[in-house]
Amino acid sequence: QVQLVESGGGLVQAGGSLRLSCAASGLIFSTAAMGWFRQAPGLEREFVARIGWSGSSTYYGDSVKGRFTISRDNAKNTIYLQMNSLRPEDTALYYCAATTYASVTDPTLYRYWGQGTQVTVSS
């Protein structure tokens, strides 16, 4: 059974930083492309970042480009999202997800999802 467990969310002031982690089990992690998405109340799920199986390929949503960094450690079956210069509009529930597709940002193409970790940025 595949499990994705996010951690690292919390409350932070605008301009601050957080680092999210997502620990995976039950899948061949080193061959899975992974992504981060977020969803604020009343809004659709939004693509944040994705990373290829080797970690050499990354891609970001326009709203986080230059502020967030996605990375992975295949030895630990874990991906990370370093979030800097946080803004109140970054407030959302953040999810990690796994896909067998390469280079996708469509959430419907991600098969496995975690339960999410809440990030709240105060102004």
Structure tokens given for 18: 């957080």
Q: In what order do the strands lie in the sheet with 18-25?
A: 3-7, 18-25, 78-83, 68-73
| pLDDT tens figures, 34-88 | 999 999 999 999 999 999 998 889 999 999 999 999 999 999 999 999 999 999 9
Q: Quote the pLDDT of residue 28.
A: 83
Asked whether the beta carbons of 51 and 71 are under 8 A apart, the reply is: yes
Residue-averaged pLDDT of the chain = 95
